[in-house]
Structure 1
Amino acid sequence: MALILFNKPYGVICQFSGDGSPRPTLADFVKVPGVYPAGRLDQDSEGLLLLTDDGRLQARIADPKYKTAKTYLVQVEGDPDDAALEPLRKGVRLKDGMTLPADARRIDPPDLWPRDPPVRFRKSVPDCWIELTIREGRNRQVRRMTAAIGFPTLRLVRWRIGDWALDGIAPGEWREA
């Protein structure tokens, strides 16, 4: 069984075949036959993507019924205090229903690689970082959750899925678990 931890760069689409556009795909980085992503990251999100050739493992990681914890480092616009993050901890109402309660806390800016292109900086608008752990995986869920509480996401990096973490893997690089 193969299990690959890949640090997906910003702008890469989470499939092996292209859509006709010049955007890079997983095939540009991972040259291992027969592996497929267990879950997805939007093209404008970065970080940990697991790839495997084991269909049962893929389902266990990606299927919401297993509630695999996924931890994100999220740069948000604004300066939320602890009370502003409380709705995330209780569950947020989105158009497709209530989210499960999440773990949410402010963190110091993480020591991450520079993003290309960089996040737009605005002197008049503060930003901060939060660590958010969810146990479901709806489409653009983290972005929708932070927007719902009034703090839009500027940068989103998935750092951990279950027991697997991004530690020491540079953008565009991968290693076997």
Structure 2
Amino acid sequence: MKQIRGKKYATLRTVPSGGARHGFELYFVCQNVEGLDPGTYHYLPLKHCIEFLNPIDKVSDVLASSLCDQLWALKANVILYFSYVPYRTEWRYGHLAHRIALVDLGHVGENIYLASTSIGLGTCGIGACVTSICDEMFELDGENEFILYSQPVGKVNPEDFAKEKSFYEFVEKEGL
């Protein structure tokens, strides 16, 4: 976080946000990261630190079910989950708050892509999250705060990348 403005309701951070609302929280599941126990974490932007929430038994099972069985994502060392806190934007933007939220989430996701690439890692934004499982994993109520989006981050195996290229062959064949 860079700065708090006004009566401590607006924060200036490294990612833009409409009206400095920053309606998102960052949670993540960590596996195979040196110095961190496998489990769930929460990023605290005002302190620029993380808090350990809970260990997870059978991490791969929980991750698979939370990400609609997209098994490729389980190879990531860290899976980021972004929650939305509607009040942060609704009090200011009313019925248009969802527009601000979607644009802001795009800014956040793009920054994760840029940061990952800059250090030789890969990422992929995932909108197909099972909200109820994700909310339970991070102990969110599902109404005042809920998971909207996920991004696994990790090393990209060149062999996997070669396989993914063949996934898009249908585009070339169809001339799309």
TM-score, shorter chain, exceeding 0.5: no
Q: TM-score, normalised by structure 1?
A: 0.29
Query: Could you say which structure has the higher strand fraction?
Result: 1
Q: TM-score, normalised by structure 2?
A: 0.29
Mark the structure with the bigger radius of gyration: 2
Query: Could you say which structure has the higher helix fraction?
Result: 2
